[in-house]
């Protein structure tokens, strides 16, 4: 056993992910269906069905036309894989060739090739590239009109904030405390009540 054997599963996964990424950027299934449609259309007119000692030839007078239609469908399938910008033309051409194959090539390869080519052509016409990635959309949102960068949102300075103008909490002076413990004693006798003592007693 070679030393590279444990790396085989990881290499297979990487290849599979690369193939998936390649397949997602083009009408892969449309091309595959179109190619599958061209094979029976080109094959059946030249095939011979053997039933016991009886040989049944399925060739028609338009055998060359069937071969041309089948080859064109296979070429259109490869074009959808490697030249995705011609997907609309290739899809319409595949649909037209599938319709022509009905009277020319044994009902379009006994309807097998006809159905494959029709479905592949429809998929090719309807395929569209995916949406752009998210980072590109974020960059576009930060641009203003005319492509100029948008202005940054206004941020108030610290002295312009609303909390700056709020009044500071009131702090009572030491002689204005609620319980009166820190108030100075009035010994003049003019105050009726001072620290719980009568002014007349204080004067006396």
Q: Answer whether residue 140 shows pLDDT above 60.
A: no
Q: Answer whether residue 169 shows pLDDT above 60.
A: no
Q: Answer whether residue 137 shows pLDDT above 60.
A: no
pTM: 0.57
The arithmetic mean of pLDDT across residues 83-88, rounded, is 90
Q: Answer whether residue 192 shows pLDDT above 80.
A: no
Looking at residue 204, its pLDDT comes to 43
In contact, 27 and 87? CB cutoff 8 Å: yes
Task: Quote the tokens at residue 60.
Answer: 């028609």
Task: Quote the tokens at residue 132.
Answer: 């752009």
| Top-confidence residue, 43 or 76 | 76
The arithmetic mean of pLDDT across residues 117-137, rounded, is 81
- Dump pLDDT digits (tens) for 33-47: 999 999 999 888 877
Q: CA neighbours within 13 Å on the CB side: how many for 20?
A: 6
The arithmetic mean of pLDDT across residues 73-102, rounded, is 93
- Main-chain dihedrals φ then ψ at residue 179, nearest 5 degrees: -85, -10
Q: Answer whether residue 120 shows pLDDT above 70.
A: yes
In contact, 84 and 24? CB cutoff 8 Å: no
Confidence category of residue 1, pLDDT binned at 50, 70, 90: very low
Q: Answer whether residue 99 shows pLDDT above 50.
A: yes
Distance, CA of 98 to CA of 34 (rounded, Å): 9
Residue 54 in 3-state DSSP? strand
Distance, CA of 191 to CA of 69 (rounded, Å): 122
The arithmetic mean of pLDDT across residues 64-74, rounded, is 90
| Top-confidence residue, 60 or 2 | 60
């Amino acid at each position: 056993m070679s030393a590279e054997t444990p790396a085989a599963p990881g290499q297979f996964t990487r290849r599979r992910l690369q193939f998936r990424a390649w397949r997602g950027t083009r009408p892969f299934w449309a091309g595959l269906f179109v190619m599958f449609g061209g094979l029976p259309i080109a094959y059946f007119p030249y095939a011979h069905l053997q039933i016991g000692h009886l040989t049944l030839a399925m060739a028609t007078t338009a055998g060359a036309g069937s071969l041309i239609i089948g080859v064109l469908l296979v070429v259109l399938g490869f074009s959808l894989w490697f030249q995705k910008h011609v997907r609309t033309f290739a899809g319409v051409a595949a649909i037209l060739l599938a319709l022509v194959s009905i009277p020319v090539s044994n009902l379009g390869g006994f309807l097998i090739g006809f159905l494959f080519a029709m479905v592949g052509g429809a998929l090719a016409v309807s395929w569209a590239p995916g949406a752009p990635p998210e980072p590109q959309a974020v960059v576009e949102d930060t641009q203003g009109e005319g492509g100029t960068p948008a202005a940054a949102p206004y941020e108030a300075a610290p002295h312009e904030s609303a909390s700056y103008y709020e009044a500071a909490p009131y702090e009572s002076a030491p002689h204005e405390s609620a319980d009166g413990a820190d108030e100075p004693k009035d010994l003049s006798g003019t105050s009726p009540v001072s620290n719980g003592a009568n002014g007349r007693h204080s004067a006396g």
